[in-house]
Structure 1
Amino acid sequence: MSCEEEVVKIGKKLEKMIANNSTDHSSASDLLKKLKDIKMNLNVLQKTRIGMTVNNFRKASKDEEVISVAKSLIKGWKKLLPAGDSSSSQGAAKVERKDSSNGDTQTLSQSAGNSPSSEEKSADNMAADGAFSSCTAANTSDPTRLKCRELLANALKVTEGLDGMGDPENIAGHIEEYIFNEFDNTNTKYKNRVRSRVANLRDLKNPQLRENVLLGLIAPEKIAKMTAEEMASDDMQELRRKYTKQSIDDHHMATTSGTRSDLFKCGKCGKKNTTYTQLQTRSSDEPMTTFVFCNECGNRWKFC
């Protein structure tokens, strides 16, 4: 059995225990210890999403030993991220900024790296192979950018039990920095991009996205550019696929099962190249409803 297959097998067992609210701490501890003995790599970690499963199990468990082993696993896996110095920040630097609207001076706490090189890294070097770097995001005194960072950080904090995960403020700073670097301005496009990140990260029905960002499985550079479809939860993506298939089927039915006719004129393109179908949508004593499809421009309408 390959490493990936073994991790998937253990992950499924843990998920089953979470779903069944199992209290078999000895079995859980054995599974976590097996994971600890497996030689994990970044590829397997990202493919199996075992980090999320272990973290969910940690939050669901009441056993101190299980919680401790789970935390240890998550911290160990974070070291697999190829992001240079993983020691994170140990000091705190205070940056003062002056609010242009009222002249008040506000203090912003920010983590400072151990070595000067971590501060000098460019935004392009903050992510290697799609993994999050632990270096601190660049400073800014722009009130709009600071507010956006605050909103992103609060969205990431919606998840409870952040032990063993990334620092929401630092990750939010990186996300905002990538968005700002793309537009080089705090214009409408910049604000809309930030708003869409905040909305999706705050979504209580999509905790997977939030945890992937906090665990570093989705790098700040990637989340800064993801589309709404890419950020959507698995349930939402499945629902969209269902609606897309339904639309394709409806289109197929209109063009293959209907009757071609020039009796109807399209109100959109003015052509009479149409196909129509009739369905009994009301009571049996009512006339059938005619659905018309324009073969020229794809317009649809109901003819009563």
Structure 2
Amino acid sequence: MDSLEQVKDYQQRLKASDEDSSRNILNLLKEVPMSFDVLKETKIAKTIKRIEKKYPSLKFFVRALIDKWRSIVKAKKKNEERPLHLEDSRNKVVQILTEALGDKDLAGKIEEEIHKCEKNTYASKARSLKFNLTKNFELKNSVLNGDITPEALVKMNPREMVSEERKEEIRKIEKDLTESRRSDWHLVNNAPKGGMFKCKKCGSDKTMMQQMQTRSADEPMTTFVKCVNCDFSWKF
């Protein structure tokens, strides 16, 4: 799955996610190698701003992503105002890959593969490789030892390049999201036609009620009410 498909998938999930799921998706978005074209086509920045408005507690996560993506937009505008010569640009990529690997000859071979296979996403692919080679020691060693060839490295997607530890974290997050969606499906499809309480926010009577003992045993139970229609909840 390329960056565009990943962003569209997470964007669709955000539309129906609760606060915890939204936080997990925002964390996943940090791992996606973003480009100006993907930002422009998906308008993902507007989507996560709506999430910030819906869940103010996620402001830190949203702002971190916005700041990161803003730098991509600024770099794009700067390049349009002052175009770099192709050869200078390619030399720069060799330089940053050399910094990541410590092997200029190998860096040059990888750059050739990027230029040959990834013409439309040359810059974003170079940034992605630099990031993952720096962060993932196992990947770097596999490349230096020849276990992963320059051609194979360039064809790897972002998920394949992260460390095993990070892969496990991502699998756990996605598992939690899947279970959360199943829980939401069960809640909506098994919701009563009309509850005992009317929603204070949207006025719907499709509400679900649960009572729990949150205080001392000799005091009344706390009643929790959740609206299936708009997801608003309250207690008394």
Q: If the length of structure 1 is used for normalisation, what is the TM-score? A: 0.38
Structure with greater proportional strand content? 1
Kindly indicate whether structure 1 or structure 2 has the higher relative contact order, using CA contacts under 8 Å at least 6 residues apart.
2
